[in-house]
Structure formats: C-alpha cells, structure tokens
Chains A and B, each alone.
Chain A
Amino acid sequence: MKAKDLMVPLVDYLRPYSTLKEAASLLRTARRSEKRIGVKALPVLDDHGSLVGILSIGDILKAVYPSYLYLMDLGEFTWDGMVESFAKKMSDRKVSDLMTQSVITVHEESSLMECVDHMLKNGVKRVPVMSREGAVVGMIYERDVFYEITRSMLDRHAKEGA
C-alpha cells in the first residue's frame, strides 16, 4: 500500500485569500470517499497551484480561542455565547492568516509506514501527497490510515505485507 493508493485525490482545496467563512463552508462539504461529508483539513494552494499551507479544524478552533486564555487559567469564567461571538468576529479573516504554513507532506510513492512516521513524529493527522513534479495530488487522512491498519488486523485472510 502506497500513499497514492490510500489518498483522497485532490478535488477540494482552499485559496490563501479566501475568507474563513468560505473555508469553513468548504471544509463542511468537501468530498471524502464517495460522499461530500466534509473533511478535517484542506490544503491551501496559491494561483499557481503551489502548496502554501494547510488549514485544519484545529486552526479554526485556535482562531476563535483568544490568545490570552493560554496565559491565564480563566476557562471557568467564560460566558455563554463567547465562542459564537468570537467566531463571528473571525469570519472575514483570510485563510492565509490562520493556516499552518509549514506543511509536512509525503510523496505519492511513499509507503504507508512513512505516512504513519510523519503523522506520529510531527503530530499531524492529515498529510498532503505530492507528485514527482511537486504538485499536490491528494490528501492522506488519519482515519483512512486507521481503516487500512484495522483492515489488516481484522481480515484473517490478509497476507503479510499486502
């Protein structure tokens, strides 16, 4: 099993100049497997198609979380509607302000273990897959890796290294 066999081929992606609102709507409806049920992260490509970042639901959580709460233990004093009002305030921010810029990628010929290696060592759950030419051709999601791993466990007839 190689990265290209497991990846969701690139259909949906974000633009750095899109607003967070547009990004959120795409994240909610992006195609995964056969259905459009949303994904947890999408690559950000510029107008030339080069990968400039990745925007995940974690980035969106961070966007509505005020930075000062990291510095003080005030969580129990927060009020109803705080998240919603911060979310509204952030909805017109640009994807480029909130995306993660340094992206861990794998090559389409990379092995499944290499994908797991990147995920564990870098603490990421979604990895863009790059072609030989350096273009993004798809995304590997942690859940798909999980299905592949558990399929090998559950399928008694699965052969070693298949």
Chain B
Amino acid sequence: MTFETMTTIQNFVMDIPFWIATVIFITAYALIVAEKMHKTVVSIFAAGSMLVLKIVDQHEAFHMEELGIDWNVIILLMSMMIIINLMKPTGIFEYVAIKSAKMGKGEPFRIMVIFAVVTAFLSALLDNVTIVLLITPAVIFIADALEVDAVPYLLSSVFASNIGGTATLIGDPPNLMIASKAQLTFMDFIVHLTPIVIVLMAVYLVVIMVFWRKRLRTRDELKERVMAMDEREAIKDPIMLKKSLMVLALVLVGFVFHGMLHFQPATVALFGAGLLLLIARTNEPHHILAEIEWPTIFFFMGLFIIVGGVVKVGLIKSLSLQMLALTDGNLFATSMIIIWFSAFASAIVDNIPYVATMNPLIIEMAQQLWPNLSGVQLLQHPDLMPLWWSLALGACLGGNATAIGASANVIVIGMAEKAGKRISFLKFMAYGVPVMVLTVAISSLYIWVRYYVF
C-alpha cells in the first residue's frame, strides 16, 4: 500500500485524471468484450495511454506491484509455457490421449469420462488453456475413430478443464493473479480449493452421464480400431521425456513447499524452465521462446497497467465503498455476491480482466474494514479469506457458461470449427449454463458451510 492510497481513503476527488483513467478503462473493456479488435492490441494501447496521459508514471507501471505489472504472474506464465513447449515434441500428450482411449476399452462413454478426468487433472497441474490446446486434437481424433459425434467429447473435456483448473494456484490464470495479489501459497489453494473441486468433478461426471451416456453408440469393429493403436509409438524422445517429467515433478514439489522455503511460485517455475532448457541441451532456444504465447503475456501486462490507473485515481475504491454499502459490511453476503457476480461476469467478460479489477477492489475493501492492518495481516485476514476463494471459484467456474467465458472455450470451439464440427453459441450455453449454475451453487454452499457455519 502506498502513502498516496492511504491518504485518499476517505475523500478522493473526481478530478480530471479520475475521468481520463475511467474513460480509458471502460473503453478498453468495452472493446475487449466487443471482440472487434484483438484484445492484446486494445490492452497495449490502453496501457500506453495511461502512461502517456500521466495517470500512472513509468516507475509505478513497471516496478510497483500495486499499480503496475505483476511480474509474478508474467514470469510464472512464461516459465510454464517454456516447460510445456519443451515437453510437447516428446509425444507425451499423444501418449496420454491414446492411453486414455484404450483404458476406456473403446467404450464411447467410458472414454468420455476418462478424458474428462485426465483433462481436469492435467489442467490442475499445468495451465488449462495449454492443456486443451494439446488434448483437443486427440479428442476429435478418437471420436472420429469411433465414428461418434465429437462435440459431446469436446464440451465435456473443456468443462472439465475449467473445473480442474480451479483446483490449484497454477491451474487457471485467475488463481495465479489472486495468489500473487493476496500472497497466497500453492498449499493454500490445495487446502481451500482442491477439496471442493474434487467434489465438483464427481458431481460433474454424473452430469455428463445424464447429458450424453445414452447418446453415444459405436460398433465393435470401431472399438477395435482404438484398441489396435499402440500408445508407445507416440513417444518420440524417451530421454527428453524423462528429463522433462523429472523437472516437472521438481517444479511441483517446489510449488508445494514454496511457502515454507520463502520462494515465490514464479521463482520455482523460472528455475524449472531454466533447468529444463539446460539439461535438454537447447542450443537454439529461439523457437522454444518464440512459441511462448506472447499475445497473452502482453495482454496481461497491459491489463495490469490499465487497472493500476483506475486504482490510483480511486475508481476501484469508490466501487469497493459501494460494495460495502450494499452489503452493510456483512462479509457472508459479500462472499455470496462475489461468487455469483463473478460467475456471471466471467461468463460474459474474459475472466482475466475481471479478476485484474476485482483483486484491488477486494484489497480496497479490506483497507476500509481493517484500516490499522497492512501486508499479509490485511491481505489474509481470516474474515477476508472466503472472499478470495469466492472470487476464484466464481471467476473460474463462471467461464463454463458461454462460448467466450474462458480462453479454453474459445480455443476448443475454434479448433472444432476448423475440423468441421461447429458448436454454436447457444449449443454451448445449453450445456454450459447448467454446468456453471450447478458447480457455482455447490461452491457457494461450500463457502457458507466451511467459512461461516463452523
């Protein structure tokens, strides 16, 4: 917390910078939602405008986590992307996909369940967007082999990916951002979110049974087609596979203990990426680094600066005051509002800019409630914790409702369309909305029981 934000807590003024920042913020978000321009272009230009119009200065934008780029998030994302890019050519993802289909014995519904569980699990360990990018081609491939409609498989695995990603700090970008802002550890997420996500997955498997079990039929000779595939042929580079699994395991162990060892998660991930680059004897890192999703990285960087601008001028604070007035300081009501509002907001807006805005809003709210506290004592005040978990659950699970709710959805629908399997906006919603409402309802029950009843 800076001195400046302290002094403006009670009476900020709606001066010219306030309006400039607010207009930039609203225009940028409107353009991102409208999707007429690439969101990264909007984000970079709006961030540049915040700087050029002196809403934030360059020091604030580049070197202060409260008002500028959160390098924790950026470096963690980039490092995980490097690790995955190095793993991809080993054939491990093809192996997992074929192995999963064979474990399902060629039975269409059993394969759907296994794909959903595997996707959810991988999405919790690696970034869920990357996982759907790697799994979707194989999902369509297996559906084609069985000559069944690929769309149910695509929908069930993308929902599973968004649910699974909710479980851990690294699973979904909103969690990454929340963790960094609230200084939460990997283990905090394991303790508070993983249990409920396991419950949600169990319920979700029942849901897909209702949706699709009776509608998937294939013939015996087509099952044979799948059973005849030899997954071992997928492994192209067993030595590199061993190396990368070792490093991945090391990174995960590092995440588990990062709180105890006083490392930030980004430190662990960056070390892992560096180590894997080293032992892979990468002499030509150019193409590995070029494959980092730079548009996503720059989208994040721009957003942090845009949000920093509206935090600095007090817009976020005034919103947080209104939120407190609305609930009269009742934090259970606030939690419920956050989880449901986040779910519906994330269904419509990309959940990344949404969480980028909500994070400082929750911090401002905490500053109103406990003006004498600061640092971790403020950010992790026991009464504040359920708000963070509500935000994470709402923002991640809300993404399932619509075709544009989460980046994973957009990717899967795009790939499906290219393969000639169109998933219309309404078709996605017909399955996505029930999944979203059910998972968020169970999550709010969880928040209530775990944090307010006992």
A residues lining the B interface (CB < 8 Å):
66-69, 71-74, 76-77, 79, 82
Q: How far does the alpha carbon of A69 sit from the alpha carbon of B140 in the complex, in Å?
A: 10
Which residue in chain B gives the minimum CB-CB distance to A74? B141
Contact A71 B415 (CB under 8 A): yes
16 CB-based A-B contacts, threshold 8 Å = A66-B141, A66-B419, A67-B415, A68-B137, A68-B138, A69-B141, A71-B137, A72-B94, A72-B97, A72-B138, A73-B94, A73-B234, A74-B137, A74-B138, A74-B141, A74-B234
Given contacts A67-B419, A68-B415, A68-B419, contact A79 B137 (CB under 8 A): no
Contact B141 A68 (CB under 8 A): yes
Q: How far does the alpha carbon of A67 sit from the alpha carbon of B415 in the complex, in Å?
A: 8
Interface flags, B338-360, vs A, CB<8A=1, else 0 = 00000000000000000000000
Q: How far does the alpha carbon of A67 sit from the alpha carbon of B140 in the complex, in Å?
A: 10
Contact A72 B141 (CB under 8 A): yes
Contact A77 B415 (CB under 8 A): no
Contact among B140, B229, B236 with A68 in the assembled complex (CB-CB below 8 Å): B140
Contact B233 A66 (CB under 8 A): no
Nearest first, the 10 A-B pairs at minimum CB distance are: A68-B137, A72-B137, A67-B418, A71-B137, A77-B229, A68-B140, A79-B225, A76-B233, A67-B419, A68-B419
* B382 CB to nearest A CB, Å: 46
- Most B-side CB within 10 Å, residue of A67, A68, A71, A79: A68
Q: How far does the alpha carbon of A69 sit from the alpha carbon of B142 in the complex, in Å?
A: 12
- Most B-side CB within 10 Å, residue of A71, A74, A76, A77: A77
Which residue in chain A gives the minimum CB-CB distance to B141? A74
Given contacts A72-B93, A73-B91, A76-B233, contact A66 B140 (CB under 8 A): yes
* A66 CB to nearest B CB, Å: 6
Chain A residue contacts of B137, Cβ below 8 A = 68-69, 71-72, 74
B145 contacts the other chain (CB 8 A)? yes
B407 contacts the other chain (CB 8 A)? no
Chain B residue contacts of A76, Cβ below 8 A = 233-234
* B238 CB to nearest A CB, Å: 14
Contact B140 A77 (CB under 8 A): no
Chain A residue contacts of B133, Cβ below 8 A = 71
Q: How far does the alpha carbon of A76 sit from the alpha carbon of B228 in the complex, in Å?
A: 11
Chain A residue contacts of B94, Cβ below 8 A = 72-74, 77
Chain B residue contacts of A67, Cβ below 8 A = 415, 418-419
Q: How far does the alpha carbon of A76 sit from the alpha carbon of B418 in the complex, in Å?
A: 22
Chain A residue contacts of B402, Cβ below 8 A = none
Chain A residue contacts of B185, Cβ below 8 A = none
* A84 CB to nearest B CB, Å: 13
Q: How far does the alpha carbon of A62 sit from the alpha carbon of B97 in the complex, in Å?
A: 24
Contact B136 A77 (CB under 8 A): no
Interface flags, B222-259, vs A, CB<8A=1, else 0 = 00010011000110100000000000000000000000
Chain A residue contacts of B144, Cβ below 8 A = 66, 82
Contact B419 A77 (CB under 8 A): no
Chain B residue contacts of A68, Cβ below 8 A = 136-138, 140-141, 415, 418-419
Chain B residue contacts of A74, Cβ below 8 A = 94, 137-138, 141, 234
Q: How far does the alpha carbon of A68 sit from the alpha carbon of B97 in the complex, in Å?
A: 14
Which residue in chain A gives the minimum CB-CB distance to B145? A79
Chain A residue contacts of B134, Cβ below 8 A = 72
B131 contacts the other chain (CB 8 A)? no
Chain A residue contacts of B415, Cβ below 8 A = 67-68, 71
* A80 CB to nearest B CB, Å: 9
Chain B residue contacts of A82, Cβ below 8 A = 144
* A55 CB to nearest B CB, Å: 18
Interface set, chain B 90-119, CB cutoff 8 A to A: 91, 93-94, 97-98
* B118 CB to nearest A CB, Å: 15
Which residue in chain B gives the minimum CB-CB distance to A77? B229
Chain B residue contacts of A66, Cβ below 8 A = 140-141, 144, 419
Q: How far does the alpha carbon of A82 sit from the alpha carbon of B137 in the complex, in Å?
A: 16
Interface set, chain B 389-420, CB cutoff 8 A to A: 415, 418-419
Contact A77 B236 (CB under 8 A): no
Chain A residue contacts of B91, Cβ below 8 A = 73
- Most A-side CB within 10 Å, residue of B97, B141, B234, B236: B141
Given contacts A68-B141, A73-B91, A76-B233, 18 further A-B contacts (CB under 8 A): A66-B141, A67-B419, A68-B136, A68-B137, A68-B140, A68-B415, A69-B141, A71-B136, A71-B137, A71-B415, A72-B134, A72-B137, A72-B138, A74-B137, A74-B138, A74-B234, A77-B94, A77-B141
Interface flags, B126-154, vs A, CB<8A=1, else 0 = 00000001101110110011000000000
Chain A residue contacts of B93, Cβ below 8 A = 72
Chain B residue contacts of A72, Cβ below 8 A = 93-94, 97, 134, 137-138, 141
Q: How far does the alpha carbon of A67 sit from the alpha carbon of B229 in the complex, in Å?
A: 20
* B283 CB to nearest A CB, Å: 23
Chain A residue contacts of B140, Cβ below 8 A = 66, 68
Which residue in chain A gives the minimum CB-CB distance to B91? A73
Which residue in chain B gives the minimum CB-CB distance to A85? B147
* B307 CB to nearest A CB, Å: 34
Q: How far does the alpha carbon of A72 sit from the alpha carbon of B98 in the complex, in Å?
A: 12
